[in-house]
Amino acid sequence: MTRVLVTGATGYIGGRLVPQLLEAGHEVSVYVRSPWKLHDVPWRDQVRIFKGDLSDAVATHRAMNGIEVAFYLVHSMSAGSDFETAEQVAAQTFADVGAAAGIRRIVYLGGLHPEGVTLSKHLRSRAAVGRVFLDCQVPAIVFQAGIVIGSGSASFEMIRHLTEVLPYMPAPRWVRNRVQPIAIRDVLRYLVLATSVDADLNRTFDIGGPDVLRYGQMMNGYAVEAGLPQRHIAALPVLTPWLASQWVSLVSPVPRQIAVPIIASLQNDCVVTEHDIDRVIPPPTEGLLPYRTAVRLALTREAAGQVETSWQNATVPGAPSDPLPSDPDWAGHTVFTDLRERESAASAGAVWDVIESIGGAKGWHSFPLAWAARGWIDRLIGGVGMRRGRRHPSRVNRGDVIDVWRVESVERGRMLRLRAEMRMPGRGWLELGVEPTATGSRYRQRAIYFPKGLSGRLYWAVLLPFHGIIFNGMAASILREAERSPQPTRS
């Protein structure tokens, strides 16, 4: 048993690594900025949770006390001019504190990249962070991986939507670049087994699956596994990374802030240049997963509702990231509300089933054109839009994303509170609740808005005429669906 610390445990990789480490028999601690995001994960009670920021040496030392192996699985998606410096400072603090705490190993997951070429600033930053760890007093293993294929991966979601939406694609020239994708299963295996490698090993390792493909071939490989016709791709030399990210943002649910660094990292070939990892961590007996097999598994897990973590729940730069009080504190705020209450013959359990399934493929129960238009407007001004969907079709946990909302609070069977992450001059919430009555149930729906300045008040005033249609229709539709399902599946 090894005592390990995982940073980035609320993210896509870290959230999947923690249960793998527990299954392998390790004692796990996690270090996160927002412990509330772990409120509903199934392994929460099996780990020690430390709150803090990686730039805070005191809090980081507290989390590292007694730790043997520390995983550094964080990377900023910020577009700010100083994010590279901030990342290196955080990594240096982590390395220095780790040395002072006496840990014996740092494990970092960086990006696969060619040598001797100009890198995107995000790949350049990842490489710089890797060098910080390799130069520190604690031995480090720096894995360098390319595109990760798995249910919930942003890169996988981008491939899916580019393939499904556009049967003929005028595409950027990087669709001709060679890439070496790797299945999420194999990434996690490397990370888990890194806890037991030679204590003095200090170096980078390229990791990738068995297939080297052009990006266009990856899209058509996805098409085969999804039962779609082959796509015709015409590479154009005129689409810059920035323009390409705007285009990807329009045809996929991946927000522009996430699409930009992904696309920028595809401007060069990214393939494994050495296979030294095989001597340290031999591949599994059955071999690493081929690309199409990884796609097939991702689609199968999605169909079964088994997406453990997803890019959708990542905090997008510019969106609120911290929870607000369980009942928003109205003191000192101008507040606008829209309240709808209705009695229903449906049981409280049946109404709750509909509430908890809202959004994603199910939609928002009223005026879909208005919801879609608001989502498109949000995308055009740099927001997340309505197309992030949801991780599970019928169950939500605190911290989950549902389209343009984030689950701020859930009292299962009673109340769901969503916080808006759309671009608007103010802050907003939507509460959906139900309680049992002698004849069925009482449904309560409340929209809450804190306007910011004059523009915030004008924003509410402009939308006010539509509230009667949207919110009234939502309440009526939710109850109609609940009344068609008299037997609750949950209470």
**Could you tell me if residue 324 is inside a domain?**
no
Same domain, 375 and 413: yes
- The tens digit of pLDDT for each residue in 390-445 reads 878 888 888 888 988 989 888 899 999 999 988 888 889 999 999 999 999 999 99
Collapse the DSSP code of 206 into the 3-class scheme (helix H, G, I; strand E, B; otherwise coil) and give the result: strand
Q: Tell me, what CATH number does 401's domain have?
A: 3.30.530.20
Domain that holds residue 380: 336-483
Q: Helices 121-134 and 256-264 meet at what angle, rounded to 10?
A: 70
Same domain, 219 and 359: no
Same domain, 309 and 346: no
Same domain, 344 and 272: no
Q: Tell me, what CATH number does 213's domain have?
A: 3.40.50.720
Residues 115-134 have a mean pLDDT of 89
Same domain, 350 and 249: no
- The tens digit of pLDDT for each residue in 290-344 reads 999 999 998 887 666 666 665 455 555 444 444 443 444 554 456 888 999 999 9
Tokens found for residue 174: 């990087």
* Dihedral Cα 407, 412, 417, 422, nearest 10 deg: 30
Instruction: Categorize the per-residue pLDDT at 255 as very low, low, confident or very high, splitting at 50, 70 and 90.
Output: low
Same domain, 341 and 261: no
Distance of CA 195 to the CA centre of its chain: 25
**Could you tell me if residue 305 is inside a domain?**
yes
Same domain, 183 and 292: yes
Per-residue pLDDT at 489 exceeds 70:
no
Tokens found for residue 276: 């030294």
Taking the complete model, does pTM exceed 0.85, yes or no?
no
Collapse the DSSP code of 337 into the 3-class scheme (helix H, G, I; strand E, B; otherwise coil) and give the result: strand
Place of tokens 């399902």: 485
| Count of domains for the chain | 2
Instruction: Categorize the per-residue pLDDT at 259 as very low, low, confident or very high, splitting at 50, 70 and 90.
Output: confident
Phi-psi region of 385 (alpha: psi -120 to 50; beta: other; left: phi over 0): left
Same domain, 304 and 356: no
Nearest-angstrom CA–CA distance, 20 and 390: 23
User: Do 166 and 199 contact (CB within 8 A), yes or no?
Assistant: no
Same domain, 264 and 300: yes
